[in-house]
Amino acid sequence: MERVVVELPINNGFSLAGTATAPRKRQVRFSARHDIILLREVIAQNPFASKEPGRIWARVGEIITAALQEEHFEVDARRCRERTMLLLDYYKKQDFPSLRRFGTERLYAQKEDLLHEVLELEAEKGLLAGGENTKYQDDELRKRALEELTLPEQDKPNITITQTHTTEPDEDREEMAELSAAPTAKQPCQCCCQTYSEILSFLEKRSEAEQRLREEELSLRREELEIQRSQISLERERLGAERKERERRFELESQERQVILDLLKEKVLKS
């Protein structure tokens, strides 16, 4: 809470400093209708697929605030993101009583469908991020292998012999002849080549193993999503069956009440 200094004028010309409290930002409470508006806008803007999600969440908050201006419903990027994540957490944990709170069955059904779409957007974000990491790691491994292969060439001494037209002593000529006859560092070393080949083979095998592991993880993630979807579908069918059962009971009770009313009318008319 901010404190603001206020100067109060008095008769003798002096001013008296006082403090005033700035009003707090109004806290908003999401209803079922507000949740539906939020989820629709999240699906339309899709902050999960953006490289700047904060900017997209801010846009979502601005759009919702403008749409609900008459209700004085003001939300920012943080509030929209936290509310969406909370609803997704309820949905993933199948906490249906919390999702059904403060709303009708029709609004709950809409909210459930929208949360399913938002969950798919979040899952697509995870798959895309995994693919980018895989590509980055493969590029890094390939780059590292090339550096290890090319590094010895850079370290090799480059011995060049420059000939001059001046007369050289016999000793210098003999030394130059020995240098020419001696094996230079440019000649390939069979041991080093074999070592680099083994390193490259090891890196390739490790990259393949990591790729298989990532593919298995993605496959498991897809299976988990399918299981969640199946559970949600079963829960939806159960809720639909319960709704039909309630409607049938209500209809039977209405018919029973109508029969009782008809019997009472007949008795009244006979009497």
Number of domain units in the chain: 1
Residue 252 lies in a domain: no
Closest CA to 240 of 53, 123, 105, 76: 105
Quickly count helices (H) and strands (E) in the chain: 7, 2
What's the pLDDT score for residue 45? 92
What is the pTM assigned to this prediction? 0.43
Instruction: Say which amino acid occupies 162.
Output: T
Q: Does 217 have pLDDT greater than 80? A: yes
Residue 81 lies in a domain: yes
Structural domain containing residue 80: 32-103
Residue 150 lies in a domain: no
Per the model's pLDDT, the better-predicted residue between 159 and 136 turns out to be 136
Report, in angstroms and rounded to the nearest whole number, the Rg of the chain calculated over CA atoms: 39
What's the pLDDT score for residue 122? 85
| Residue matched to tokens 């995994």 | 130
Residue 90 lies in a domain: yes
Residue 150, CB-side half-sphere exposure with 13 Å CA sphere: 6
Q: For the segment 91-123, what is each residue's pLDDT rounded down to a tens digit?
A: 888 888 888 876 788 888 888 889 888 988 888
Tell me how far the alpha carbon of residue 93 is from its chain's centroid.
18
The SS3 call for residue 188 is coil
Residue 64 lies in a domain: yes
- Cβ burial, residue 39 (10 Å; 0-12/13-18/19+): buried
Percentage with pLDDT > 90 across the chain: 19
Contacts 24+ apart (CB under 8 A), 139-147: 141/203, 141/206, 141/207, 144/203, 145/199, 145/200, 145/203, 145/204
CB 39 within 8 A of CB 84: yes
Q: For the segment 49-69, what is each residue's pLDDT rounded down to a tens digit?
A: 888 999 999 999 999 999 998
Residue 40 lies in a domain: yes
State residue 5 phi and psi, 5-degree precision: -85, 125
Q: Does 46 have pLDDT greater than 50? A: yes
Residue 38 lies in a domain: yes
Which of 54-68, 69-83, 131-145 has the weakest average pLDDT? Answer: 131-145
Instruction: Say which amino acid occupies 239.
Output: L
- Cβ burial, residue 143 (10 Å; 0-12/13-18/19+): exposed
Q: Does 262 have pLDDT greater than 70? A: yes
Instruction: Render the burial of 182-206: b for 16+ CB within 10 Å, e for the rest.
Output: eeeeeeeeeeeeeebeeeeeeeeee
State residue 7 phi and psi, 5-degree precision: -95, 125
What's the pLDDT score for residue 41? 94
The SS3 call for residue 7 is strand
Residue 153 lies in a domain: no
